[in-house]
Structure 1
Amino acid sequence: MRNIMKAATLESKFPLMSVENGCIVSKDADITAAFEVTLPEIYTVTSAEYEAIHGAWCKAIKVLPDYCIVHKQDWFVKENYKPELQKEDMSFLSRSFERHFNERPFLNHKCYLFLTKTTKERNRRQSNFSTLCRGFIIPKEVGDRDTALKFLEATDQFVRIMNDSGFVRLRRLSDEEITGTKGKAGLIEQYFSLSTEEATCLQDIALSAGEMRIGDKRLCLHTLSDVDDMPSNVATDSRYERLSTDRSDCRLSFASPLGLLLPCNHLYNQYIFIDNSDENLKRFEKSARNMQSLSRYSRSNAINQEWIEEYLNEAHSFGLTSVRAHFNVMAWGEDADEMKRIKNDTGSQLAAMECTPRYNTVDCPTLFWAGIPGNEADFPSEESFYTFIEQSVCLFTEETNYRSSVSPFGMKMVDRLTGKPLHLDISDLPMKRGVTTNRNKFVLGPSGSGKSFFMNHFVRQYHEQGSHIVIVDTGNSYQGLCEMINRKTHGEDGIYYTYTDTNPISFNPFFTEDKVFDIEKRESIKTLLLTLWKKDNEPATRAEEVALSNAVSLYISRIREDDSIVPSFNSFYEFVKTEYSIRLEEKKVREKDFDLAGFLNVLEPYYKGGEYDYLLNSDKQLDLLHKRFIVFEIDAIKDHPILFPVTTIIIMELFINKMRRLKGIRKVIAIEEAWKAIASANMASYIKYLYKTVRKFYGEAIIVTQEVEDIISSEIVKESIINNSDCKILLDQRKFMNKFDAIQSLLGLTDQEKAQVLSINQANDPSRLYKEVWIGLGGTQSAVYATEVSTQEYLAYTTEETEKMEVYALAEKLGGDIEAAIRQIAEKRKEQKQ
C-alpha cells in the first residue's frame, strides 16, 4: 500500500553537513563558528557598563566581512534544583537546607553565539527557498579557501574584542559539545528536543501553519521583524522600577524583559545580517528617487521617501553601517492553559519594551529551522528589517543568572530572583583573585533586618567546614546553635559562656593543656593583672611592669616543674605572697618601685574567699585553644566595672592565642553590637591590633552592628575596622534612607552599590520566606542575595522569644536534645501547612 502520509525523515531535511575544527559546515557550504557566552550577573551592571558592553559588541561586529550573520541565542529553560545529599559528613541543618530546596524550580540561562559566513545569494533568499521546503538537498563545496580563512581570522578578532571588554566572555565550543557523544546530548540535539538535559532522544516534530509541536511541547512565536513593530527609541539599558527608589536606580539591559524576567521556557533569538552596506545605501538612494517621482500620486510615497532620506542622512552623517536585523521569542508549554498564559506573558513583556507584540503563526516552522545552530543562512530574508548595528545591538540581552563560586570553601545563599541555592565564597576566592586583600568583614543592619539570622547561618557553615569560631554576643542570638553543637559533640565543643547569679562567668587564664605559654599568653596574663590592679587613668611604672612580668615568668616555671601545683589565680596569688615576696627581699626591690603589699591587697577580692574568687579560678580546667565554637554572652556584664574588662581581655587573649598557635586552620572572631565591646580602651586596642594582623594568620575578624555611629564613636577603631574590612555586608537600610548618604560616604560605597543596597527587600517573592542581604567585596564586586533557610534552620537561629521558649520547653522534655525538639516542631509545622 502506498504511503500517503505527509511526513519526512529528519535525515532528508537535515541542513548540516559536518562539524570540523570547531566549525559547523552546512550542506549549502556555509561556515559557522559556535561560542558559549558568559554574561554579567543580573542587577550588578551599571548604566556606564551597559554602554561599554554595547560598544564592544558594535566594534566586534564591524570586523566581520560582508555577508556574515551574527546569531545570539539565549536559552531560558525551567529546571529543578537537585540537592547535594550525597555527602557523608553533612550535618542535620545542612541536610535540612538541601531538602528544603529539593526540586525548587528556577529558570536557567545559557547563552550561545553563532557567527556564520554565507554568500550574497543565500543572504537574500526568502522562506520558499528554505531547506525545509526542498525535496532533497545537494551538498555544495566551500568555494573559496581564502574567504573561509579570512572569516576565521575575523572571528578570532571578534572574540578578542569581546573578551578584552572585561564584561563578556566568549568560549569556542568543541566538536563534541556541538554534536554530542553517545552518553551526552550536544547543542544541536538539545535544540531539536528543546531540552538542556545531558542525554536526550529525538522526538517527533510536527510542522504546520497553525501549530508547531516537538514531542509534547507546543511552540508559540513572537517576532520583531518589521520597523513598525519596534519602539520609537531604543537604549543600551533601562530603569527597572521594581528595585529602584527615588534615591537610586536599578539598571537592566533594554531587552531584559525578554530574558530572565520572562518566567517561562523560551529561546530569545537575536539576528544581525551583514550585507554590503554601500550596496544597501545605493539601493535606498534609488528607491528614494522612485518614491519622490511617485509622490504626486500617493502621500504614502512621500512619507516613505522622507523616512528613507532620514535613514540615508543618518548613515552618511555618522558613518553607520547598514544591516538587517530580526528578533524572535520562541516559547513553549505543554497544555492549552499554559500556552495561553505564555502568550500573554510574552506579549506583555514585549509591550513593556514599547514593542508591538506580533504573534507569528505562519513562519514559525521556517524560523525554528533557521534557528538550528549552523543553519542561520537559511533565514527567510522577508522576516528582517533594515537598521544600523548600534540600534540592533540594543535588543541584545546582556545579563544572566547569579553564578556559584568555583571554590571548595564557602557558604550557601539563595538567588534573589529565582530562589535557587548558590555556593558563595566571600573569604578565599576573592583573596586569590586579588579582589580583596583581607578576609575581615563589617556587617551593618538595623534591628529586625535579619542581621543575627544571617550571622547564625554564616558561622554555622564556617564551623561545619573546620573553622574555629569565637563570638562576642549580646542578646543570646547564638544560644540555640551553640547548644546544638554542644549536644552533638557530647560537650567537647559548643562552649557557651554567660553570666547568671547561680552560674557566674568564670575562667582560668593560667591553664593550658600542653603547658605552653608563648609571649602572647604571658603578655595577656600581665595585661589582665595590670587591669585588675590599676585604674584606667593610673598607668603602671616601668619598674612595676618588670616586677609583674618576672612574677608571671617565675610562676609559669614553677607550675611546669611541680605537677602538684594547680594552675589558677589562687596558686599564683599564693606564689607571689610567699616565694616571690622572698625573692623581692633578696633583690632588695624598694617599695616605691613595686608595692607588693598594695598589689596583694588590690587583688585579694579575686583570691579564695573574696568577692570575685570564682572569676579567675574556674575548676573546669577547660583549654579553649582546641574548642571550635565558643560564644561569650556579655549582655549581663557589659556595664560591670570589674567583670567586663576582665572578660574582654580574656576573650581577646583566647582568640590571639588561637590565631598564633593554630597553623593552617581558619579562625573567625565575630563581635556583635560592637559599641558595647569596644567601649574600653583595652578592647579597642586589641581590635585595632586584630584587624591589622589577623590576615597573616589565616583569620578573619567580623564586627556586627546596628549603627555606623557605634564604630565611628571610637577613634581608635574607626579607621582600622572600615579600612581593613574588604568585605562589607549590609542588610535592609530603609530605616536609614534619609541619612544613607552619610553611610555611603563612610563606607566608601559607589552609586551602583548604593542602588543595590537600597533595593534590598523591595520586590520579595511573597510565596517565599526570606530576607535579602547585600555583600560587597573590595569595592569591585557586589550583589544582593537572599537568606532563605529550612524550618529546622529557622528554629535553630530564631531570636523570637516565644519560638525559642517553644524549642527549649520541648527539648527539656526530650532530655535536653534541641535537635530532636527542632525535628518535631518542624514536622508539626509541615503537617499544618498541608
Structure 2
Amino acid sequence: MRNVMKAATLESKFPLLAVENGCIVSKDADVTVAFKVELPELFTVTSNEYEAIHSAWHKAVKVLPDFSIVHKQDFFIEEKYQPEIDRDELSFLSRSFERHFNERPFLNHFCYLFLTKTTKMRSRQESTFSTLCKGKIIPKEIEDKEAVTKFLEAVGQFERIMNDSGFITLARLRADEIVGTETTAGIVEKYFALSQNDTTVLKDISLNPEEMRIGDDFLCLHTLSDVEDLPGNVGTDSRYERLSTDRSDCRLSFAAPVGVLLTCNHVYNQYIFIDDHTESLKRFEQTARNMQSLSRYSRSNQINKAWIEEYLNEAHSKGLVSVRCHCNVMAWSDNREELKHIKNDVGSQLALMECKPRHNTTDVPTLFWAGIPGNEGDFPFEESFYTFIPQALCFFTEETNYKSSLSPFGIKMVDRVTGRPLHLDISDLPMKKGVITNRNKFVLGPSGSGKSFFMNHLVRQYYEQNSHIVLVDTGNSYQGLCEMIHRKTKGTDGIYYTYSEEKPISFNPFFTDDYKFNVEKKDSIKTLLLTLWKSEDDKITKTESGELGSAVSAYIKKIQQDRSIVPCFDTFYEYMLNDYRAELEKRDIKVSREDFNIDNFLTTLRQYYKGGRFDFLLNSRENIDLLHKRFIVFEIDSIKDNAELFPVVVIIIMEAFINKMRRLKGIRKLLIVEEAWKALTTENMANYLKYMYKTVRKYFGEAIVVTQEVDDIISSPVVKESIINNSDCKILLDQKKYMNKFDGIQAMLGLTEKEKAQILSINLANHPGRKYKEVWIGLNGVQSAVYATEVSPAEYLTYTTEESEKTEVFNLAEELGGDLELAIRRLAETKYK
C-alpha cells in the first residue's frame, strides 16, 4: 500500500543558517549565544542562597535589550552506570564495587542557556507563522547590525554577572560544540535525537500533535502557558519535606519537582521574552479601559479590569519590568504504557508546585521546534503569559545532581538520590583550591551508623592509591581488611598487632633495616625509656633526659660500628649495665645519684630485660621494619587499661608514624585513631596527637580521629583545642541518637545552619531497594553534602564487624587453603545473589 502521508526533509525545514563567531544565526536573522550551565548540587543550597541566585538571574536578565529571549533548557536523561572494570590495576574489592553498580539506572542532568536577539515583528508571531508551516524558508538579512552589537555586549555583561555570583557558572559553547564534528554530535544534533551522547544518530520525526514521535520515542508535553494554570504564589525555593525535620529545613528550588525530582526522560524548557516594556504597559492600559467600558455586560470583565490595574500598579510602584513567560515539560518513552505513567508523574509533579497540569496535545510540534537551540524566535506568541522578571525566574530549576571531583585521587561514594557511584576527592583538590588548609579529618558516628564500613571503605581505597596507613583500633574493625592485605601480599604487608596470652604484642624499637637513626627516632627511643622509668607524677630533670639521650646515641653508634650486636632492648640494657655505667665512673665531672640514678633506672627497667615480666615487649624477634609497611593496625582493646603496657605501645605507635612522616618523602601517610579515647587520656598520646595534627600537613600526611561518643568531644580539651580546630574535613554519620544534644555538637564543631540541616537529613529518605548508610562530609564550612556508603557483597564481607560473619569467612578460607579472597567471593555469590 502506498504511503499517502506528507513527508519533508529536515534540511527543507531546518530553521538555522550558520554558526558565526560562536553565535547561532537563524534563517529569520535571529542571533543566539549558547552556554553550558553548571548549577549547584542538590541539597547543598540554603534559602538565602536561593535568593542570592534568584537575584543574580534578575540582575543579568535586566541588562538584556528589548526583544531578547532567555531560554534555559534542562535535559534529564536516563542512563546506566558503566563500570570501570577494564583497568588492569583494579583490586579484587574495587572490581567487585564496580560490578555491583553495573547497569544501575540514574538520571543525568545537562543544562544549557540560550540568549536570543530577535525583532519586534518576530516576537508577536503566532504558531501559524512557524518555520514548520512554511513551504520554503528564505534566509533574511540582519537589518539592525548595531542592535546585534549592543546585544552581544549585554550578553557579555550577563555572563559576567552570573559567573561572579559564585553559585552558577556559564561557559560559552564553541562552534564545534554547537554543530558537532565528524566524530562527535553537537547540541543541535543531540536535541533532534533526544539524547546527550556524543555519538547520536538522527531519527525520523513524526509531527502528529496528538502523538509526536521521534524515532521509537513517543512524546508528551505539559505546558505552563496560561495564568489560570499558575499557583497563587511563587517563591525562590520551597521546603522539601522528606528530608526536613522539626529542627531542620531542607530547601529546593520552586521548580525542583519537574527537575531532578522527576525521574523519567524529559526536557524542562523555561522561556522569558523581553518585549518593549513601555509599549506593553500602554497595551494593558488600553485593555483596562476596554474592560471598564464592557464591565456592565459581564462581571468577569470588571474582575479582569481589576486584575490588570493591579498588575499596572505593581509595575509602576515597584519599577518591575513586564515580560512574557512560558515553561513546558517534554517527556518521552518508547513504550506507550510507560508513557501513560510518565504523563501521570509529570502531572503530579506540576501539582506539587500548585500548578494546574495541562497536557498539551495541540502545540507539541510547534513547541518542540521552538526549542531547537537558536530557534527561540520561532516561539508562538499565544503560548506565553505576562508576568514580571522576578516571578518568571521562580520557574527556573536551580540545582543539579551530585558531581564527581575532577581529580586523579579520591574515593568512590554514591549519590544519595540516584545511587550512581561518584569519584570524590576530600583531600588534594580542596587543598589545591584553598577550601581547606590541612587534610586532617574528624569522624563522628554512633554505634550502628555505618562508621566502620565508611572508614574501611576509605582506608582501603587510600591504601590502593599507595598511601601508608597506621591504624589505632579498639574492636577489631579492620581485622578482615588487614588480613586480606596480609594474605594478598604473602605476609609482606598488612601487619596486625594485637595482644593475647598466647601471642603477646611485641616490638623492637631499636631495629631499622638500614641502621639509620634520625633525630626523631632517637628522641622517640629516649621518650620510651623515660616513660618506662618514670611514673606520670615524677618530674624528669634535664640531667636525666640529657644522660639518657647520650646513652641512646652512644648505643646506636656502637651497633652501627659492630653489626654483630643484635639491636634490641636486651643489648641496650646490657650496654647501660656495663659500658655506660663504667663510662660514668671514669668522667672527670662526676654525675651524682641525685642527678642521674642509673641503678634506679636499671632496677625499674629490669622487668623488660630477658627473664622479666615483660621481656617479650621490646625484644621482638621478627624485626619487622614498620617504615616500609603500608598497612599497619594496632589493636589496643585488650591493653588500653594496662598501666605498664599501654604507654609503651602508644609511644611505639607514634614513633612508627613519625618515622614514616619524616622519612617517606612525597608519599601520602595516614594516622587513624579509631575509638581509642583511652589513649587520649594519657599525656604522651595527647601531646603526640596535638603535635601530629599541627605538623602532619607539612609532610603530605593526614591525621584522622574517629569516635562514636558525643561526650568525648565535649569533655576532652585535647579534642576541642587541637583535633577539631585542626581538622578542616569533618565527617558525621546518623545523629538521630544525639538529636537532643546536637546543639552542643553544632557549637563544638562550628557547624552552620545549612550543615546542621544536611546532617539531620541523613537516612531520612533512603531508597528501600538499596542497602546503604548515608554520611555527611563537610570541608571547612565551604563545601558540604550527604553521600551514601554503599558497598558490594564482597566488600561487606571484608569490612563486617559481626563476629558470626567474620568467623564464617575465616573458616571457609581455612577450608580453601587460606585463600581469603576466594572465600569472600564464594560467600558473596551464594549469600547475596
Per the normalisation by structure 2, the TM-score is 0.99
Question: Where does 1:44-59 land on structure 2 (aligned, <5 Å)?
Answer: 44-59=44-59
Matches within 5 A, 1:351-370: 351-370=351-370
- Give, in angstroms, the shift of residue 83 of structure 1: 1.1
Indicate if the aligned counterparts of 1:674 and 1:711 stay in contact, CA closer than 8 A: no
Q: Equivalents in 2 of 1:82, 1:719: separation in Å?
A: 45
- The answer as to whether partners of 2:45 and 2:251 remain within 8 angstroms in 1 is yes
Aligned match of 1:390? 390
Query: What is the CA distance between 1:589 and its match in structure 2?
Result: 2.4
Distance in 2 (CA, whole Å) between partners of 1:123 and 1:310 is: 25
Contact 1:482-1:631 within 8 A present in 2 as well? yes
C-alpha distance after superposition, 1:25-56 (max 9, x if no partner): 11111111111000000100011110010011
How far, CA to CA, are the matches of 1:745 and 1:357 in structure 2? 45
Deviations 1:381-408 (CA, angstroms, capped at 9, x unpaired): 1100000000000000000011111111
- Matched with 2:82 is 82
Residues 788-809 of structure 1: per-residue CA shift (max 9 Å, x gap): 1111111111111111111111
Aligned to 1:419: 419
CA distance 1:227–1:535, shift in 2 (3 Å): same
Q: Is the 8 A contact 2:680 2:718 kept in 1?
A: no
Contact 2:70–2:113, Cα closer than 8 Å, also in 1: yes
Q: Aligned AA for 2:10?
A: L
Instruction: Write the letter of the residue equivalent to 1:746.
Output: M
Which residue does 1:582 correspond to in 2? 582
**Residue of structure 2 in register with 1:650 after alignment:** 652
Say if 2:490 is the partner of 1:490: yes
* Secondary structure class of the residue paired with 1:637: coil
Identify the residue that residue 636 of structure 1 maps to in structure 2: 638
Are the aligned partners of 1:37 and 1:111 in contact in 2 as well (CA < 8 Å)? yes
1:802 to 783, 798, 804: 804
Which of 797, 810, 813 is equivalent to 1:811? Answer: 813
CA distance in 1, matches of 2:74, 2:4: 38
Q: What one-letter code is carried by the residue in structure 1 that aligns with 2:777?
A: I
The one-letter code matched in structure 1 to 2:793 is T
* Aligned residue number for residue 820 of structure 1: 822
Q: Where does residue 448 of structure 1 map in the other structure?
A: 448
SS at match of 1:635: coil
Q: Which residue of 2 aligns with 1:791?
A: 793
Write the letter of the residue equivalent to 2:501: D
CA contact (8 A) 2:468 2:668 kept: yes
1:674 positional shift: 3.6
CA distance in structure 2 between the partners assigned to 1:644 and 1:446 by the alignment: 25
Query: Which secondary structure state, in structure 1, belongs to the residue aligned with residue 325 of structure 2?
Result: strand
- Deviation, structure 1 residue 523: 0.8
- Say whether residues 1:596 and 2:598 are aligned partners: yes
What percentage of aligned pairs have identical amino acids?
Answer: 71
The match for 1:185 is 185
Q: Distance in 1 between matches of 2:624 and 2:676?
A: 27
CA shift digits 1:484-542 (9 cap, x unpaired): 10111111110000001100000000001111111111111111111111111011222
Shift of residue 445, structure 1, vs aligned partner: 0.3
TM superposition shift of 1:717: 4.0
- Please tell me whether residue 627 in structure 1 is matched to residue 615 in structure 2: no
Q: Distance in 2 between matches of 1:546 and 1:184?
A: 72
Partner of 1:27: 27
2:33–2:116 CA contact under 8 A, matched in 1: yes
Distance in 1 of aligned mates of 2:191 and 2:520: 65
- Bigger Cα displacement from structure 2, 668-677 vs 297-306: 668-677
Quote the residue 1:217 is aligned against.
217
Cα separation, partners in 2 of 1:201 and 1:716, compared to 1, 3 Å: closer
Instruction: Report SS of the residue matched to 1:754.
Output: helix
Match of 1:565 in 2: 565
2:443/2:707 contact within 8 Å kept = yes
- C-alpha distance in 1 between matches for 2:624 and 2:335: 66
Q: Distance in 1 between matches of 2:667 and 2:655?
A: 17
RMSD of aligned alpha carbons: 1.0
Aligned to 1:729: 731
Superposition deviation, residue 300 in structure 1:
0.6
Alpha-carbon distance between aligned partners in 2 of 1:787 and 1:379, rounded to the nearest angstrom: 46
Cα deviation, residue 718, structure 1: 2.4
How far apart, CA to CA, are the structure 1 residues paired with 2:718 and 2:213? 70
Encode CA deviations 1:603-657: one digit per residue, 9 max, x unaligned. Answer: 1110001110000000001110010000000000010011111000100111011
- Aligned AA for 2:746? Q
Which residue does 1:696 correspond to in 2? Answer: 698
Hey, what's the Cα distance between the residues in 2 that align with 1:5 and 1:305? 47
Deviation at 1:6, TM superposition (A): 1.1
759, 762, 771: which one pairs with 1:760? Answer: 762
Provide the C-alpha distance between the structure 2 equivalents of 1:349 and 1:752, rounded to a whole number of angstroms: 26
Map residues 294-693 of structure 1 onto 2, 5 A cutoff: 294-587=294-587, 588-693=590-695
Displacement of 1:114 in angstroms is 0.5
1:475 Cα deviation after fit: 0.4
CA distance in 1, matches of 2:361, 2:431: 53
- Alpha-carbon distance in 2 for matches of 1:361, 1:714: 67
Letter of the aligned partner of 2:493 in structure 1? Answer: D
Among residues 764, 776, 779, which one is paired with 1:777 in the alignment? 779
2:606 partner letter: E
Alpha-carbon separation, structure 1, partners of 2:591 and 2:681? 36
The residue identity in structure 2 corresponding to 1:404 is: S
Query: Which range is displaced more, 674-683 or 159-168?
Result: 674-683
Instruction: Report how far residue 4 of structure 1 moved.
Output: 4.2
Shift of 1:144: 1.7
Instruction: Point out the more displaced range, 103-112 or 194-203.
Output: 194-203
SS in 1 for 2:272: strand
- Greater alpha carbon shift after TM alignment, 450-459 vs 813-822: 813-822
Give, as a single letter, the amino acid of the residue that structure 2 aligns with 1:565. I
Q: Which runs of 5+ in 2 are unaligned?
A: none
2:676, 2:390 → 1: CA distance? Answer: 52
Q: Which amino acid aligns with 2:35?
A: F
- Matched residue type, 1:798: T
Provide, for residues 728-758 of structure 1, a one-character-per-residue CA deviation record: whole Å limited to 9, x for no partner: 0000000011110000000000000000000
Q: Distance in 2 between matches of 1:635 and 1:286?
A: 85
CA contact (8 A) 1:674 1:710 kept: no
For normalisation by structure 1, the TM-score amounts to: 0.99
Q: Is the 8 A contact 2:720 2:748 kept in 1?
A: no
Distance change >3 Å, CA 305–CA 555, structure 1 → 2 = same
Give deviations 1:451-501, integer Å, cap 9, x for gaps: 111000000000100100000000000000001101111111100000011
Give yes or no for contact 1:687–1:717 (8 Å, CA) kept in 2.
no
Q: 1:777 & 1:400 partners in 2: Cα distance?
A: 20
Question: Whole-Å Cα distance in 2 between the matches of residues 72 and 590 of structure 1?
Answer: 86
- Offset at residue 543 of structure 1 (A): 1.7
Per mean C-alpha deviation after superposition, the further-off stretch among 18-27 and 708-717 is: 708-717
* Cα distance in 1 for residues equivalent to 2:361 and 2:322: 29
1:191-236 alpha-carbon deviations (Å, 9 max, x no partner): 1110111112211101112210001000000000000100000000
Q: Residues of 1 paired with 2:775 and 2:156: CA distance?
A: 41
Secondary structure of 2:360's partner?
coil
Within-5 A mapping of 1:62-211: 62-211=62-211
1:648-672 deviation line (CA, Å, top 9, x unaligned): 0100111011101111100000001
Provide the rounded CA distance (Å) in 2 between the counterparts of 1:804 and 1:4: 71
Which range is displaced more, 722-731 or 143-152? 143-152
Number of residue-to-residue matches in the alignment: 831
Give the match's secondary structure for 1:690: helix
Structure 1 residue aligned with 2:746: 744
Superposed CA offset, 1:163-210 (max 9, x none)? 111101111101111111121111111111101111122111011122
State whether residues 675 and 711 of structure 1, in contact with CA within 8 Å, keep that contact through their aligned partners in structure 2: no
Deviates more, 1:580-589 or 1:294-303: 580-589
Please give the alpha-carbon distance, in whole angstroms, between the structure 2 residues aligned to 1:240 and 1:276: 38
Q: Secondary structure at the match of 2:192?
A: helix
Deviation sequence 1:553-578 (CA, Å, 0-9, x none): 11101100111100000000011111
Letter in 1 for 2:666: G
Whole-Å Cα distance in 1 between the matches of residues 393 and 508 of structure 2? 69
Contact 2:714 2:745 survives alignment (8 Å): no
